[in-house]
């Protein structure tokens, strides 16, 4: 009896010590996130933020402020935010999934799957070049006159590359939007249908949408303009493919976690590897499908350089990619008129960071804040 009592006492003590250690780690992470996020919100007048951190197999959620200045409800891990160009990571993954299913090949000419573009420059531009903004100089946005499919097709038929395909990176919604649209055509279904009825369910994401359902509208935050007007994203050509997804910090952390484990669907597993493969290099950053990729660990300076304004808005030479043998860091920024998002993950280390805000604030501030959180998470790992 005495031996059993001692054993029981030891187990209770061990459990208490482990619980205390976990609580201490959680407190340290909370202090770090609070210390990074609260000054950020004050400096940039951000009404509300949802922050999620995956570390050591645990999901941590930190919520700040309100969903709208006009109707101030508290932000939660279920609040829906517009993701802007973070949507491109889902488009890249859907395309890679269709490749894994044999619907098309990365090196297929775009016009092979969109016959309306036969005889145009897209006879010599591949699907992967469209996906990675290296078609030869497609602009950031369509001209205002492009409002429907007929206008889109006319624009692409008339467009002439300013550079050889594959030679430069010029970040472009029409480019990756075309990739997503044509990839869906190869499968014989609309892009939105494939995204909402195939990819998102296979990822186990039940709170991520192109069109927010009526039952979830009460959780959909309002964005805020520089003048504090409430705004939400407007429809546009290739909006679903390039910037149309809305999601919560809880669902997005599940999304990042999925990159660190093998899914049951082999095609999805192959696709999740494919999107992280470098296609070419621009400075310290290597371009994947939707994701931007770095060898891990990466310095704060290099991560900021890869997300610099000239990379997003300039024309950059596309240099040869460098194979990554060890862990990699993937990241993506996204913005709409009233929202700012940033996702970062190190899948091989089980690390994920989600920053969602209902104001479009500077990208360097997002990267810097996430890196500060990353340093704390890295410090906890062996």
pLDDT for residue 17 is more than 80 = no
CA–CA distance, 106 with 238 (Å, rounded to integer)? 20
Q: On the CB side of 355, how many CA atoms lie within 13 Å of its CA?
A: 35
* Residue 300 preceded by cis peptide, ω within 30: no
The pLDDT score that the predictor gives to residue 12 is 53
The pLDDT score that the predictor gives to residue 26 is 79
Can you give the length of the chain in residues?
Answer: 382
Q: Which of 166-170, 272-276, 364-368, 375-379 has the lowest mean pLDDT?
A: 375-379
> Helices 149-158 and 173-186 sit at what angle, rounded to 10 degrees?
110
pLDDT for residue 286 is more than 70 = yes
Tokens 């470098």 correspond to what residue? 278
- pLDDT tens track for 184-211: 999 999 999 999 999 999 999 999 999 9
CA–CA distance, 290 with 167 (Å, rounded to integer)? 18
- pLDDT tens track for 318-377: 999 999 999 999 999 999 999 999 999 999 999 999 999 999 999 999 999 999 999 999
- Domain 33-380, CATH homologous superfamily name and number: DD-peptidase/beta-lactamase superfamily (3.40.710.10)
If residue 61 lies in a helix (H) or strand (E), which one and from where to where? strand 58-65
pLDDT for residue 380 is more than 70 = no
Whether the Cβ atoms of residue 112 and residue 155 lie closer than 8 Å to each other: no
- Mean pLDDT for 140-144 is 97
Tokens 């909402």 correspond to what residue? 196
State the pLDDT confidence band at 8, using cuts at 50, 70 and 90. low
Residues carrying an active site annotation? 85
- pLDDT tens track for 77-110: 999 999 999 999 999 999 999 999 999 999 999 9
The pLDDT score that the predictor gives to residue 21 is 56
If residue 150 lies in a helix (H) or strand (E), which one and from where to where? helix 149-158
CA–CA distance, 168 with 153 (Å, rounded to integer)? 23
State the pLDDT confidence band at 262, using cuts at 50, 70 and 90. confident
pLDDT for residue 218 is more than 90 = yes
What is the per-residue DSSP string for 281-327? EETTEEE-SSSEEEESS--HHHHHHHT-HHHHHSEEE-BPP----S-
């Amino acid at each position: 009896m005495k031996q059993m009592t001692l054993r029981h006492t030891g187990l209770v003590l061990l459990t208490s010590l482990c619980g205390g250690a976990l609580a201490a780690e959680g407190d340290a992470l909370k202090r770090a996130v609070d210390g990074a996020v609260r000054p950020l919100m004050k400096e940039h007048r951000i009404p509300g933020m949802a922050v999620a951190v995956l570390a050591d197999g645990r999901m941590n959620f930190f919520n700040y402020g309100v969903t709208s200045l006009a109707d101030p409800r508290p932000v939660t891990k279920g609040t829906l935010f517009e993701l802007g160009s973070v949507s491109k990571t889902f488009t890249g993954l859907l395309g890679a999934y269709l490749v894994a299913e044999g619907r098309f090949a990365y090196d297929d000419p775009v016009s092979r799957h969109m016959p309306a573009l036969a005889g145009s420059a897209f006879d010599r531009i591949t699907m992967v070049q469209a996906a990675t903004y290296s078609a030869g100089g497609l602009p950031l946005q369509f001209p205002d006159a492009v409002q429907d499919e007929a206008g889109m097709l006319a624009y692409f038929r008339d467009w002439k590359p300013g550079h050889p395909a594959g030679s430069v990176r010029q970040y472009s919604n029409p480019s990756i939007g075309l990739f997503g649209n044509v990839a869906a055509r190869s499968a014989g279904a609309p892009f939105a249908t494939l995204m909402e009825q195939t990819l998102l369910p296979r990822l186990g994401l039940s709170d991520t949408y192109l069109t927010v359902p009526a039952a979830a509208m009460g959780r959909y935050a309002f964005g805020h303009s520089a003048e504090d007007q409430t705004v939400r994203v407007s429809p546009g050509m290739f909006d679903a493919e390039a910037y149309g997804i809305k999601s919560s910090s809880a669902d997005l952390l599940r999304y990042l976690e999925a990159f660190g484990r093998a899914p049951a669907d082999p095609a999805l597993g192959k696709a999740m590897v494919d999107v992280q493969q470098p296609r070419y290099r621009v400075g310290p950053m290597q371009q994947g499908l939707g994701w931007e990729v770095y060898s891990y660990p990466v310095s704060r300076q290099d991560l900021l350089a890869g997300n610099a304004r000239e990379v997003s808005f300039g024309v950059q030479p596309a240099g040869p990619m460098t194979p990554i043998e060890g862990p990699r860091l993937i990241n993506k920024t996204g913005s709409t008129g009233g929202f700012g998002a940033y996702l970062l993950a190190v899948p091989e280390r089980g690390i994920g960071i989600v920053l969602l805000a209902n104001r479009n604030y500077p990208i360097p501030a997002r990267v810097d804040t996430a890196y500060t959180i990353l340093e704390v998470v890295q410090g906890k790992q062996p």
